[in-house]
Amino acid sequence: MGETWEEVGIITDLRWSRKPGEAAEPRVEKDGDLWRIRSMEVARQVLRARHATTQAGFTAEAIPQGFLKNHPILFSDGPLHDEQRSKVARFFAPKIVATRYQDLMDSAAEAVIADAQSSDSFDLDELSLYFTVEVTAEVVGLTNSKVRPMSHRLVRFFNQPAFDITRKDLGRTNRQWMQAALNGLWPVVRFWFSDVRPAIRARRKEPQEDVISHLIAEGYGNMDILVEATTYGTAGMVTTREYICMAAWHLLKHDALRARYLVAGEKERHAILHEIIRLEPVVGHIYRRAQDDIEISDGDQTWTIRAGELIDLYIRHTNADPLTVGDEPLNLCPGRELPRGVNETVLSFGDGAHKCPGQHLAISESDALLRRLLARDVVILQEPVMGWDELISGYMLRGFALRIGPGTWRHDGAPSEA
């Protein structure tokens, strides 16, 4: 690998996604029926307590039971979820990503960057939206409509009133619940008629190697497919979109890290991207509801989480737990030594039964776009404004204005003519 990361000049305390008012201690905390977990080891114990917890994030507990024939994969648990996961895993396997989607990711990245380069300026958050939706659409099977209009339809799903997941009524008034229903219904209707229905019709005639074709073969009805397509579409778009902006922000602000990224092979580039998302996980909290008593321990301390209690896993803090990630946990240190069995992204993609199957796809598509973008003479015109999305308990980066010059980027930070 050549020079060490210390020689490259990794900067101390690099995290930018610090949510105001979010406490970093204690490692394990109980407040009534709510547990707050900031210890990585305890969080992993909870996530690996198979069939002892159920999904409580993403307003899952507010979704009526029995409305759908097949419960959505994001919200299901137990044997049903295990079966669903095993059947769709093939669409996200590293080998499949490399052989089936790499050419698409490369060509899509070239296309959006060419569009950006032809403009005086562009917003990276918008560019990354179009790019991630195009890739996600191919995997899911939403390829019978135009990417950019579909992107805007997917974004509208997140126009929802604020809520408090620790309260049974989510802390919403009747008026807010009505607004949530209205804000959610119209995007669903448009998404169905414009994107999902055409995809289903095409795949009933000619099945493809994608998620919608798989769901049709499994006997899913139109409503079930609509919900799954919405889940995969929004999940594949929103988290990767934000991550691309965050990774680009770090790499554009730190020339040494950018230079190393651009000369590295794929394995090392991915290590850099893994470390950035460890430090800046897009989903900041994972919520589970205990269905059985769960014994947890942190060092020599032990507790019992009782059935019915809500568990809030603080992912920004578990990912920076010094007992797991070592000294200087808020540094960017790609390839840092981690305990055996700990993923390089720690818990950024979850763990256990609900671990995100799209980790390799998300990193690969981010790499496809970033290595092309950052090799150019990119200038930051306006740094992004950070906001917070309660639905995914994560950050949003908006207004990230950039300009691409006519040259390429030299490793000394100065542009050179192409």
Q: How do residues 103-154 score in pLDDT, each as one tens digit?
A: 999 999 999 999 999 999 999 999 999 999 999 999 999 999 999 999 999 8
Range in 84-98, 184-198, 349-363, 376-390 the model is least confident about: 84-98
**Residues paired with residue 334 on neighbouring β-strands, in sequence order:** none
Closest Cα partner for 352 from 28, 59, 53, 8? 53
User: Is pLDDT at 229 greater than 50 in this prediction?
Assistant: yes
pLDDT band at 75 (very low <50, low <70, confident <90, very high): low
Higher pLDDT: 41 or 335? It is 41
Range of the domain at 195: 5-416
pLDDT tens-digit map of 173-210 = 778 767 776 766 788 889 999 999 999 999 999 999 99
pTM equals 0.90
Residue 130's pLDDT is 96
pLDDT band at 246 (very low <50, low <70, confident <90, very high): very high
The strand pair at 394-398 and 376-382 is best described as unpaired
Share of the chain above pLDDT 70, in %: 87
Residue type, 409: W
314 membership: H or E segment, kind and range? strand 310-314
Residue type, 394: G
pLDDT band at 234 (very low <50, low <70, confident <90, very high): confident
pLDDT band at 62 (very low <50, low <70, confident <90, very high): low
How far apart CA 293 and CA 295 sit, in angstroms, is 7
Cβ–Cβ under 8 Å, residues 274 and 345: yes
pLDDT band at 64 (very low <50, low <70, confident <90, very high): low
User: Is pLDDT at 4 greater than 50 in this prediction?
Assistant: no
3-state secondary structure 261-272: HHHCCHHHHHHH
Residue 149's pLDDT is 94
Q: What share of the chain is helix, strand, coil (3-state, %, to 5)?
A: 50, 15, 35
Residue 1's pLDDT is 39
Q: What is the largest CA-CA distance in the chain?
A: 64
How far apart CA 30 and CA 371 sit, in angstroms, is 44
Structural domains counted in the chain: 1
3-state secondary structure of 30: strand
Where does residue 50 rank: exposed (0-12), middle (13-18), buried (19+ CB within 10 A)? exposed
43 membership: H or E segment, kind and range? helix 40-47
10 DSSP assignment: P
Cβ–Cβ under 8 Å, residues 280 and 403: no
> Residues 345, 346, 352, 354: is their CA dihedral positive or negative?
negative
Residue 310 belongs to domain with CATH number:
1.10.630.10
pLDDT tens-digit map of 325-341 = 998 999 999 989 999 99
pLDDT band at 257 (very low <50, low <70, confident <90, very high): very high
Cβ–Cβ under 8 Å, residues 7 and 236: no
CA distances from 159 to 74, 89, 384 (A): 20, 30, 20
User: Is pLDDT at 373 greater than 70 in this prediction?
Assistant: yes
Residue 231's pLDDT is 84
pLDDT band at 374 (very low <50, low <70, confident <90, very high): very high
